[in-house]
Amino acid sequence: MKKPMILALPLLALGACDGMQSGASSYSVDAATAGADFRYGAREAVAGLDPVCPYSEEEEQLARYEPLRTRMAALEERVAGTALAIDLAVVRADYEHYWTINDAPCGETDTAETEGQIDGELEKIDNALTRMEAAAGVT
């Protein structure tokens, strides 16, 4: 008999979002879908831009992340004051909390594979930001 309550909790949480949306009177299916897409991308972007175990400690390699950090900052500015800003804050808090209670065995940095690893990571972050931008209506 507890199953209906389990299903009701997410619905109550969605209802609570209604008051957080500027000028919105309900949390629509479209808003829920956009929020889910945004959070999906945000998880990848947040983790990629603030890695627990970076591939490099070299300034030249770390500088390769700057264009994506700039994009993320512009997106954050764009969604400020909206439900998507709340979604991003939740993703960041979840990420930070996870890494306060878990440890990651980090490998060696700046190896022969580093450039390729960073290339792959930058591509994932780029794709994540593109997904977030689409969910936020940024073209």
Residue 138: the pLDDT is 87
Q: Structural domain of residue 82, as residue ranges? A: 27-136
User: Does residue 4 form part of some domain?
Assistant: no
User: Does residue 12 form part of some domain?
Assistant: no
Which of 3, 14, 7, 4 has the alpha carbon at shortest distance from 86? 14
Mean pLDDT of the 56-76 span: 97
User: Does residue 14 form part of some domain?
Assistant: no
Q: What is the mean pLDDT of the chain?
A: 86
User: Does residue 55 form part of some domain?
Assistant: yes
If you ran DSSP here, which 8-state letter would residue 64 be given?
Answer: G
User: Does residue 44 form part of some domain?
Assistant: yes
Q: Is the pLDDT of residue 65 over 90?
A: yes
User: Does residue 9 form part of some domain?
Assistant: no
Residue 9: the pLDDT is 38
Q: How many C-beta atoms surround the C-beta of residue 39 within 10 A?
A: 18
Count of domains for the chain: 1
Query: Distance between CA atoms of 45 and 38, rounded to whole angstroms?
Result: 10
User: Does residue 20 form part of some domain?
Assistant: no
